[in-house]
């Protein structure tokens, strides 16, 4: 079905920057620059500069950034890693694939880790914590870092949804030991397929990640240091991402403007919780604009009937996917969020007209 307000619009997105993207792709093809070439190194340097870290290592997914971060932190079977249940499954799968136990804690009103629960979840087996910066907002990293330092835990930031967001002036992915980014096509910086990156200030972690992604090989010496993975960011992807990175500040401003328009249109609705977090410590980039209501199923259907495409992140708690064999940690906030949230259309192509239709439709629903 063609929506009059699409959730995202990849065709228009491409059309708007077509000349530069085509040049980047064709340049790689014409020069034969397909694997581990200058375009990748340039993108990594520009990404590190943007995030504010010494290193950025281009990978084929955000999942691999998480997994390699855990590997570099020495996480092994028997260890525990604390993270939130309200996240994309990859955060948790990366822990499981290390043979470690994910210890899931609840989130607060901004959908990020309830940091007051962190200390109580620590045991002698706890080795690391993965705060997830969901929807374009950084978790309260002040508190996370204080607790982590007290207990000597590694901090792996899952910043897959928050490139460009800041906490206390520090960019997501620059505060913990590593930052993990995803360039899945519908992320704020989206590739033309899967991609990701790990950011860090630690040269040892950067070296480990660089080797792991290339089957364990040191590219200078040809020595294999690990049984590694084929997990390099493709050179063509890097060339395209480098073009798009130049647009990122503009796209962030656009999303923040769209968020203001939603806020103005929806702020007085009694049965609706909207994200208006007016704390100057946070600079949000609105990967998702998430609203919350007890009537979410009916509202979502009403919006669909009105030609407005929405998504739900996520329809049930991760432990309810029985084949994943995760224990039910009994997290009430995570459970009700799954029943109540809707992500509204939000992208670089979302227009004030789109917001107007969406706001009108939501208001009509609640009048009825
Ligand atoms: C919060 C979060 N963590 C991790 C990931 C994994 O990233 P990727 O899909 O690039 O592996 C995603 C991507 O959807 C995500 O949203």
- Give 244-282 as a 3 state SS string: HHHHHHHHHHHHHHHHHHHHHHHCCCCCCECCCCCCCCE
Q: Provide mean pLDDT across the span 177-184.
A: 99
Fold of the CATH domain 248-367: 3.90.1150
Fold of the CATH domain 11-242: 3.40.640
- 25 alpha carbon to ligand 1 midpoint, in Å? 24
Q: Provide mean pLDDT across the span 99-122.
A: 98
The closest residue, in CA terms, to atom 12 on ligand 1 is 160
Q: Is the CB of 88 under 6 A from ligand 1?
A: yes
How far is it, in rounded angstroms, from Cα 1 to Cα 307?
9
Q: Is the CB of 61 under 6 A from ligand 1?
A: yes
Q: Is the CB of 63 under 6 A from ligand 1?
A: yes
- 88 alpha carbon to ligand 1 midpoint, in Å? 6
pLDDT-wise least confident of 38-47, 95-104, 207-216, 267-276: 267-276
Instruction: For residue 115, give the DSSP letter.
Output: G
How far is it, in rounded angstroms, from Cα 59 to Cα 185?
14
What contacts 352, CB < 8 A, 6 or more positions away? 258, 261
How far is it, in rounded angstroms, from Cα 318 to Cα 314?
8
- pLDDT, mean over the chain: 97
Q: Provide mean pLDDT across the span 15-22.
A: 98
Report the share of the chain in percent with pLDDT over 90: 98
Q: Provide mean pLDDT across the span 114-124.
A: 98
If phi > 0 it is left, if psi is from -120 to 50 it is alpha, else beta; for residue 216 that is: left
| Pocket test residue of 58, 178, 184 for ligand 1, highest count of atoms within 8 A of CB | 184
The predicted-structure confidence for 233-250, as pLDDT tens digits, reads as follows 999 999 999 999 999 999
246 C-beta neighbours (distance < 10 Å), count: 11
Q: Is the CB of 172 under 6 A from ligand 1?
A: no
Domain chopping of the chain, boundaries: 11-242, 248-367
Q: Is the CB of 237 under 6 A from ligand 1?
A: no
The predicted-structure confidence for 254-301, as pLDDT tens digits, reads as follows 999 999 999 999 999 999 999 977 899 999 999 999 999 999 999 999
Q: Is the CB of 141 under 6 A from ligand 1?
A: no
Q: Is the CB of 182 under 6 A from ligand 1?
A: yes
- 303 alpha carbon to ligand 1 midpoint, in Å? 26
- 61 alpha carbon to ligand 1 midpoint, in Å? 8
């Amino acid at each position: 079905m063609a929506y009059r307000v699409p959730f995202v619009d990849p065709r228009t997105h491409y059309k708007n920057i077509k000349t530069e993207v085509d040049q980047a792709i064709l340049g790689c093809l014409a020069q034969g620059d397909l694997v581990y070439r200058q375009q990748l190194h340039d993108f990594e340097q520009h990404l590190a500069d943007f995030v504010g870290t010494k290193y950025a290592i281009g990978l084929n997914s955000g999942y691999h950034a998480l997994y390699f971060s855990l590997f570099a932190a020495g996480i092994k079977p028997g260890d525990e890693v604390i993270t939130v249940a309200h996240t994309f499954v990859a955060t948790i799968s990366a822990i499981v694939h290390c043979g470690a136990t994910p210890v899931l804690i609840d989130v607060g009103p901004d959908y990020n880790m309830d940091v007051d629960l962190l200390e109580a979840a620590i045991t002698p087996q706890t080795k690391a914590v993965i705060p997830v910066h969901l929807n374009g907002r950084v978790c309260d990293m002040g508190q996370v870092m204080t607790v982590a330092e007290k207990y000597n835990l590694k901090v792996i930031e899952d910043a897959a949804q928050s490139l460009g967001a800041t906490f206390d002036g520090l960019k997501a992915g620059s505060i913990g030991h590593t930052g993990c980014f995803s360039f899945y096509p519908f992320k704020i910086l989206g590739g033309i397929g899967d991609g990701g990156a790990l950011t860090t200030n630690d040269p040892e972690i950067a070296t480990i990640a660089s080797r792991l992604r290339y089957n364990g090989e040191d590219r200078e010496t040809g020595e294999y240091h690990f049984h590694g993975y084929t997990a390099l960011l493709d050179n063509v992807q890097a060339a395209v991402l480098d073009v798009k990175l130049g647009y990122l500040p503009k796209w962030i401003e656009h999303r923040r403007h769209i968020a203001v328009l939603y806020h103005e249109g929806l702020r007085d609705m009694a049965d609706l919780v909207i994200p208006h977090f007016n704390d100057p410590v946070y600079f949000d980039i609105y990967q998702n604009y998430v609203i919350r209501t007890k009537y979410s199923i009916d509202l979502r259907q009403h919006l669909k009937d009105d030609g407005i495409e929405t998504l739900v992140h996520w329809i049930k708690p991760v432990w309810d996917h029985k084949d994943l064999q995760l224990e039910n940690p009994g997290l009430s906030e995570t459970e009700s969020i799954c029943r109540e949230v809707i992500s509204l259309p939000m992208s670089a192509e979302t227009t004030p007209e789109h917001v107007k239709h969406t706001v009108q439709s939501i208001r009509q629903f609640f009048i009825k």
